[in-house]
């Protein structure tokens, strides 16, 4: 018997979803209805606690909206991102407890680093699945450490390398950006993935990483993604960039570097800067935990910031963009209607 697993990107739910009350035929929520289990990233905290704005942006929703997330068809949410912990630890802990009571699995949060990186085990239609989450973006003060609660944070170092000769010839040439994952944090995350693989034949890793509005993953994402697969990850669902990024298959495991925003119904000016492209990653799993098929259903955010299928012209444009982003990775994809079918070989 096959298990159908779905992965979606950022969930910014700040008011009730129109599609839950009048679900249009083109809504991507239809796909979640048919999935056995769905994983997403809960970007905007759902809490009544007061907390300061970050610049001009204050992502939040009322606690009552937890039922909206469940009704969407989402089963597990990552809280390891750069906004979920904004209300402070006490509010986040309470939110996580309430999310669990609402029926959601929460990932990437804990009383200390070991707890935050601890995999969660679920049985889905007879198949054991281990899940964990981590973030490479956000404030380090929110990262869980020994003796300090927080999110499962992974530090990434950035440095810039300028080519003086090239700049002399072409003034304004930007420097080359070099990124590398902190070795201790890399080892901690890899150990967590290996521990998850000991728990279950199928391991889902939700990664919050990359650079906002970038259509291609930066160097550390690819290096870390491959490391996680080699440690035991069966699939990686990426979020944060707000864009659809490339897809890579490494040792038979699909890495979805960026799945865009799945819901973004924040209706102040930041909403209009958010790219409209979105997608649902769909995997068919065999009874022994192997991925037998993988596809990416392409969509867009409608005027309410809710996910619907995209049109044929935009699907072709996205397929070309995804192919460019994945160039040189030996990963073959073909477009059928609005769906990219991914070759797992």
pLDDT-derived band of residue 59, with 50, 70 and 90 as boundaries? Answer: confident
Per-residue pLDDT, averaged over 127-138, amounts to: 97
Residue 55 has pLDDT above 80, yes or no: no
C-alpha closest to that of 135 among 20, 19, 219, 224: 224
Report the pLDDT value the prediction gives residue 268, as an integer from 0 to 100: 64
Report the pLDDT value the prediction gives residue 336, as an integer from 0 to 100: 96
* 137-165 tens-digit pLDDT: 999 999 999 999 999 999 999 999 998 88
Report the pLDDT value the prediction gives residue 271, as an integer from 0 to 100: 59
Sort 101 into a burial class: Cβ within 10 Å, 0-12 / 13-18 / 19+: exposed
Per-residue pLDDT, averaged over 302-308, amounts to: 94
Report the pLDDT value the prediction gives residue 51, as an integer from 0 to 100: 73
| Rounded distance between C-alpha atoms, residue 222 and residue 208, angstroms | 13
| Rounded distance between C-alpha atoms, residue 128 and residue 83, angstroms | 30
Beta bridge partners of 341: 295, 334
Q: Token pair of 251, please?
A: 């040792």
Round the average pLDDT of the chain to a whole number and report it.
94
* 306-326 tens-digit pLDDT: 999 999 999 999 999 988 888
CATH level 2 (architecture), domain 3-153+185-342: 4-Layer Sandwich (3.60)
Classify residue 50 by its DSSP letter.
Answer: -
Report the pLDDT value the prediction gives residue 56, as an integer from 0 to 100: 52
Residue 50 has pLDDT above 80, yes or no: no
DSSP per residue, 124-192: ETTEEEEEEEEESSS-GGGB-BTTB-EE-B--EEEEEE--HHHHHHSTTPPPEEEEEE-HHHHHHHHHH
**Residue 256: helix, strand or coil by DSSP?**
strand
CA end-to-end distance (rounded Å), the chain:
22
pTM reported for the whole predicted model: 0.96
Confirm if 293 and 285 have CB atoms less than 8 A apart.
no
Classify residue 244 by its DSSP letter.
Answer: B
Per-residue pLDDT, averaged over 109-114, amounts to: 97
Report the pLDDT value the prediction gives residue 174, as an integer from 0 to 100: 92
Report the pLDDT value the prediction gives residue 213, as an integer from 0 to 100: 93
Edge to edge, the sheet with strand 235-239 lists 120-124, 127-135, 202-208, 235-239, 253-256, 247-250
C-alpha closest to that of 5 among 73, 72, 102: 73
Per-residue pLDDT, averaged over 36-55, amounts to: 86
- Let me know the angle formed at the C-alpha of 31 by 26 and 34, rounded to the nearest 5 degrees: 135
Maximum Cα–Cα distance across the chain: 63
* 220-267 tens-digit pLDDT: 999 999 999 999 999 999 999 999 999 999 999 999 999 999 999 987
Per-residue pLDDT, averaged over 90-111, amounts to: 96
Q: How far is CA 248 from CA 50, 100, 232, 236, 313, in A?
A: 40, 32, 16, 10, 24
* 257-296 tens-digit pLDDT: 999 999 999 876 555 678 899 999 999 999 889 999 999 9
Report the pLDDT value the prediction gives residue 58, as an integer from 0 to 100: 66
Report the pLDDT value the prediction gives residue 49, as an integer from 0 to 100: 84
- The least confident of 19-23, 47-51, 63-67, 167-171 is 47-51
| Rounded distance between C-alpha atoms, residue 23 and residue 343, angstroms | 32
Percent of the chain beyond pLDDT 90? 85
Task: Return the sign of the alpha-carbon dihedral for residues 185, 191, 194, 200.
Answer: negative
- Let me know the angle formed at the C-alpha of 323 by 318 and 326, rounded to the nearest 5 degrees: 125
Confirm if 104 and 65 have CB atoms less than 8 A apart.
no
- The least confident of 109-113, 175-179, 286-290 is 286-290
């Amino acid at each position: 018997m096959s298990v159908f697993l779905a992965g979606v990107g950022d969930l910014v739910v700040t008011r009730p979803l129109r599609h839950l009350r009048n679900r249009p035929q083109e809504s991507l929520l239809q796909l979640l209805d048919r999935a056995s289990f769905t994983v997403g990233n809960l970007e905007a905290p759902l809490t009544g606690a007061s907390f300061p704005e970050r610049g001009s942006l204050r992502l939040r929703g009322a606690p009552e909206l937890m039922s909206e997330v469940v009704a969407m068809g989402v089963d597990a949410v990552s809280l390891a991102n750069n906004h979920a912990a904004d209300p402070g630890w006490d509010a986040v802990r309470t939110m996580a407890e309430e999310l669990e009571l609402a029926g959601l699995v929460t990932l990437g949060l804990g009383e200390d680093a070991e707890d935050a990186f601890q995999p969660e085990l679920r049985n889905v239609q007879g198949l054991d699945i281990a899940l964990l989450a981590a973030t490479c973006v956000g404030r380090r003060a929110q990262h869980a450490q020994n003796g300090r609660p927080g999110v499962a944070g992974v530090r990434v170092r950035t440095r810039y390398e300028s080519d003086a000769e090239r700049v002399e010839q072409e003034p304004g040439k930007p420097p080359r950006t070099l990124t590398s994952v902190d070795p201790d944090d890399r080892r901690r995350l890899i150990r967590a993935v290996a521990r998850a693989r000991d728990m279950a034949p199928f391991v889902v890793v939700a990664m919050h990483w990359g650079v906002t509005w970038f259509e291609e993953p930066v160097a550390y994402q690819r290096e870390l993604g491959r490391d996680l697969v080699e440690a035991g990850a069966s699939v990686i669902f990426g979020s944060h960039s707000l864009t659809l990024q490339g897809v890579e298959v490494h040792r038979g495991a699909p890495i979805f570097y960026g799945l865009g925003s799945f819901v973004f119904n924040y209706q102040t000016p930041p909403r209009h800067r958010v790219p409209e492209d979105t997608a649902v990653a769909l995997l068919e799993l065999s009874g022994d935990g192997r991925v037998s098929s993988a596809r990416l259903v392409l969509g867009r955010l409608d005027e309410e910031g809710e996910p619907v299928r995209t049109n044929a012209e935009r699907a072709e444009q996205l397929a070309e963009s995804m192919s460019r982003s994945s160039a040189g990775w030996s990963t073959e994809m073909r477009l059928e209607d609005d769906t990219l079918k991914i070759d797992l070989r």
